[in-house]
């Protein structure tokens, strides 16, 4: 009997791989095909997830459904935050299903793996869901683009704002993988260069549900700011439990370094109020952003965050580039993407650097108090606009060997 149980335990552990969704959609030539590959069932499913697929479809519809006279098709798959599953799907898409570009790619470890596959196969990838600056740094690709945000922009935005408010000593709670390290290091560097100091850090596994041990360590460090270098459900749980342990009441400030509208909605304003965060888009910014958001809401029943609107922008820009190049051949499209200015609901006055980084303005936002919120999803006050040149690393200093 016990053998059965042990075997079944192994089965459960292995099952997530076995249940990997395979990509859908028929393979035909004479089509422009875009693959949306992201986490659709795990901790980041609200962060991007199926709603990103909808955003991509909206972009195709807004473009007219066709480019160069051939239909545009969107396919999607769930990578479950696993780099091996993602690489397999990417290979399959590029090799046998005539997918021209893969986009979204939430989770840094996954995005790095897929960008490596894309580079090897000379195919386009546009990352909107992942954060690490390595994508346009040492791991950059002539066909790889990083669209919505990155760890540097988050560090400059949220980190910078808190240091200015006097938060000069930090303790980090860091997700134990590429993204967490990158975010912790860049925020730490920014804090130190502004005269602050780092008192310590602790690394937790992805998908941790109980943060109390880590929070106690952060509490006893006496740091003025506790930086949460994690994302999605992990950040939400950490914030919720921090208020339970009296951390914010005790005068320590929480910095959710990667936190978007979707997670604020899940956490509720009661627990999230007062948090400072950085996003590349806010739906209630002006008429233009509201117009897109209302259409998005009608399809998904939620308001878009920067991942969703960023994916919309990436798909739209890709189609414009294909049209400009007059072909879907990789080199020509990549060249067009590098040259064309970006101007849509998401990337206003944006441009693409030689390292593939799309440089655009970011917004420093603060979560409203429950009483200040006038309608559902009215969650943020815009504190400042961070110019793209400040938010993103100068391509010449990015460490990307494509920049001479």
Partner 1 sequence: MTMIFGIPLQAFLGQLLIGLINGSFYALLSLGLAVIFGLLRVINFAHGAQYMLGAFVAMLMLQYLGINYWFALVLAPLVVGLFGAIIERTMLSRLYDLDPLYGLLFTFGLALTIEGTFRYFYGSSGQPYNVPAALAGGTNLGFMFLPIYRGWVVVISLIACIGTWLLIEKTKLGAYLRAATENPTLVQAFGVNVPLLLTLTYGLGAALAAFAGVLAAPVYQVSPLMGSNIIIVVFAVVVVGGMGSIMGAILTGYMLGIAEGLTKVFYPEASNIVIFVIMAIVLLIRPAGLFGRDA
- Neighbouring C-beta atoms of residue 37, cutoff 10 Å: 29
Supply φ then ψ for residue 369, to 5 degrees.
-75, 150
The DSSP call for residue 155 is I
Q: Does 4 bind partner 1 (CB under 8 A)?
A: yes
Q: Does 17 bind partner 1 (CB under 8 A)?
A: no
Q: Which stretch binds partner 1 (CB under 8 A): 7-15, 182-190, 343-351, 368-376?
A: 7-15
In this structure, what is the dihedral angle of CA atoms 326, 330, 335, 337, given to the nearest 10 degrees?
A: 80
The DSSP call for residue 106 is -
Of 71 and 370, nearer to partner 1 (C-beta) is 370
Of 124 and 206, nearer to partner 1 (C-beta) is 206
Q: Which stretch binds partner 1 (CB under 8 A): 63-71, 164-172, 199-207, 340-348?
A: 199-207
Of 51 and 313, nearer to partner 1 (C-beta) is 51
Q: Which of 143, 214, 296, 392 binds partner 1 (CB under 8 A)?
A: 214
Q: Does 216 bind partner 1 (CB under 8 A)?
A: yes
Q: Which of 217, 323, 366, 381 binds partner 1 (CB under 8 A)?
A: 217
Coarse DSSP helix, strand, coil percentages of the chain, rounded to the nearest 5 percent: 45, 20, 35
Q: Which residue has the tokens 């939430």?
A: 106
Looking at residues 274 to 333 of the shown chain, list those that interact with partner 1 (rule: CB under 8 A).
302
Q: Which of 140, 156, 226, 271 binds partner 1 (CB under 8 A)?
A: 271
Q: Does 210 bind partner 1 (CB under 8 A)?
A: yes
Residue 346 CA to residue 171 CA, distance in Å, equals: 33
**55 contacts 106 by C-beta, under 8 angstroms:** no
Q: Which stretch binds partner 1 (CB under 8 A): 26-34, 184-192, 203-211, 385-393?
A: 203-211
Residue 382, H or E segment = strand 380-386
Looking at residues 170 to 189 of the shown chain, list those that interact with partner 1 (rule: CB under 8 A).
176
Looking at residues 28 to 57 of the shown chain, list those that interact with partner 1 (rule: CB under 8 A).
41-47, 49
How far apart are CB 172 and partner 1 at their closest, in Å?
A: 12
**103 contacts 126 by C-beta, under 8 angstroms:** yes
How far apart are CB 66 and partner 1 at their closest, in Å?
A: 31
Supply φ then ψ for residue 191, to 5 degrees.
-60, -45
Q: What is the DSSP string of 284-321?
A: TSSHHHHHHHHHHHHHHSS---HHHHHHHHHHHHHHHH
Supply φ then ψ for residue 10, to 5 degrees.
-65, -40
Tokens read off for 3: 């053998």
Tokens read off for 282: 């806010």
Of 8 and 17, nearer to partner 1 (C-beta) is 8
Q: Does 384 bind partner 1 (CB under 8 A)?
A: no
- The full 3-state SS of 170-194, as one line of letters, equals EEEEEECCHHHHHHHHHHHHHHHHC
Of 76 and 100, nearer to partner 1 (C-beta) is 76
Looking at residues 230 to 249 of the shown chain, list those that interact with partner 1 (rule: CB under 8 A).
232-233, 236-237, 240-241, 244-246
Of 124 and 233, nearer to partner 1 (C-beta) is 233
How far apart are CB 208 and partner 1 at their closest, in Å?
A: 7
Residues that bind partner 1 in the complex, under the rule CB under 8 A: 1-2, 4-6, 8-9, 11-13, 15, 19, 41-47, 49, 176, 202-205, 207-210, 212-214, 216-217, 219-220, 232-233, 236-237, 240-241, 244-246, 250, 262-263, 265-268, 270-271, 302
């Amino acid at each position: 009997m016990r053998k059965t149980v042990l075997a079944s335990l192994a089965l459960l552990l292995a099952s997530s791989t076995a249940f990997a969704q395979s990509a859908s959609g028929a393979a035909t030539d004479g089509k422009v095909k875009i693959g949306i590959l992201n986490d659709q069932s795990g901790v980041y499913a609200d962060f991007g997830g199926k709603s990103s697929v909808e955003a991509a479809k909206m972009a195709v519809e807004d473009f007219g459904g066709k480019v160069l006279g051939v239909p545009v098709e969107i396919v999607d798959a769930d990578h479950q935050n696993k780099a091996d599953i993602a690489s397999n799907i990417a290979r399959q898409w590029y090799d046998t299903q005539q997918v021209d570009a893969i986009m979204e790619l939430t989770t840094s470890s996954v995005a790095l793996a897929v960008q490596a596959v894309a580079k090897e196969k000379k195919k386009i990838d546009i990352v909107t869901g992942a954060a690490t600056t390595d994508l346009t740094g040492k791991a950059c690709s002539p066909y790889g683009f990083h669209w919505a945000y990155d760890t540097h922009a988050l560090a400059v935005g949220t980190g910078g704002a808190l240091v200015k408010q006097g938060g000069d000593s930090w303790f980090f709670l860091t997700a134990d993988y590429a993204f967490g390290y990158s975010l912790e290091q860049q925020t730490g560097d920014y804090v130190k260069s502004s005269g602050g100091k780092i008192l310590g850090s602790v690394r937790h596994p992805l998908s941790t549900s109980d943060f109390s041990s880590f929070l106690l360590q952060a509490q006893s460090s006496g740091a003025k700011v506790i930086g949460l270098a994690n994302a999605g459900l992990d950040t939400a749980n950490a914030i919720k439990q921090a208020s339970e342990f009296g951390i914010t009441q005790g005068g320590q400030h929480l910095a959710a370094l990667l936190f978007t509208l979707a997670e604020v909605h899940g956490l509720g304003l009661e627990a999230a109020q007062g948090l400072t965060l950085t996003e590349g888009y806010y739906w209630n910014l002006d008429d233009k952003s509201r117009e897109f958001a209302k259409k998005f809401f009608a399809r998904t029943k939620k308001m878009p965050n920067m991942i969703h609107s960023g994916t919309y922008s990436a798909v739209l820009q890709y189609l414009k580039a294909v049209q400009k190049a007059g072909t879907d051949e990789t080199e020509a499209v990549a060249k067009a993407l590098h040259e064309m200015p970006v101007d849509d609901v998401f990337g206003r006055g944006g441009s693409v650097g030689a390292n593939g980084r799309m440089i655009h303005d970011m917004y420093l936002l603060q979560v409203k108090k429950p009483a200040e919120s006038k309608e559902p999803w009215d969650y943020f006050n815009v504190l400042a606009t961070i110019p793209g040149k400040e938010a993103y690393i100068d391509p010449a200093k990015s460490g990307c060997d494509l920049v001479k």
